[in-house]
């Protein structure tokens, strides 16, 4: 772990997640570049990219599923602290365990649905209606990324289970 000198926070940034951060940033950059080029060509030259919108959609999926790994790996999900001041000790630990279990179930469901979709697309050799590209590799990649995220939830769950109830702290909610 090292510290990010650009950050106002004193929180360390974990070096092992930097490649995933770069991957997500690359997907976002490529997506924005293609969308900007498509819009410019459409309105300035009346010549939009035929493949622009479908590729941006696929890049969006890659961004979301790659970002899910980063967020899960750093255990930085969005939290709403409505009940946090009243739940302490063992109740806090139970709350965090339940959140991880619900997250795990949801992510495993998404992974299974993506894999099922990929197998159907592969069996039928479905292609995108606007561009000649097979769907199944993308849905298989989405399923794999969701499965990786589920494994990270399991890791986070075991970390919480190993902690004593007194040591489990609420995530810090910034004042907005």
Residues 30-47: tens digit of each pLDDT: 999 999 999 999 999 988
Q: What are phi and psi of 119, to 5 degrees?
A: -65, -40
pTM, full prediction: 0.79
Q: Which of 65, 70, 60, 56 is nearest to 22 (CA)?
A: 70
Q: What is the pLDDT of residue 7?
A: 46
Q: Which of 78, 76, 79, 29 is nearest to 56 (CA)?
A: 29
CB-based contact 72:153 (threshold 8 Å): yes
- Sorted by sequence, the CB contacts under 8 Å of residue 48 that are 6+ apart come out as 38, 41, 42
Q: What is the pLDDT of residue 130?
A: 75
CA distances from residue 136 to 53, 54, 73, 115, 123 in whole angstroms, order as listed: 18, 14, 26, 9, 9
Collect the ranges in the chain with pLDDT lower than 50.
1-5, 7-10
């Amino acid at each position: 772990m090292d510290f990010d000198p650009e950050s106002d926070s004193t929180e360390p940034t974990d070096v092992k997640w930097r490649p995933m951060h770069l991957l997500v940033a690359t997907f976002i950059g490529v997506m924005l570049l293609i969308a900007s080029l498509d819009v410019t060509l459409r309105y300035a030259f009346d010549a939009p990219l035929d493949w622009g919108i479908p590729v941006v959609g696929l890049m969006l999926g890659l961004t979301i599923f790659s970002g899910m790994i980063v967020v899960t790996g750093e255990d930085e999900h969005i939290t709403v602290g409505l009940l946090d001041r009243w739940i302490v000790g063992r109740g806090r630990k139970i709350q965090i365990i339940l959140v991880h279990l619900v997250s795990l179930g949801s992510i495993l469901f998404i992974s299974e649905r993506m894999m099922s979709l990929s197998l159907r697309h592969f069996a039928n050799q479905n292609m995108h209606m606007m561009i000649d590209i097979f769907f199944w590799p993308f849905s298989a990649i989405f399923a794999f990324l969701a499965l990786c995220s589920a494994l990270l939830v399991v890791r986070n769950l075991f970390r919480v289970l190993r902690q004593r109830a007194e040591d489990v702290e609420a995530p810090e909610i910034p004042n907005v």
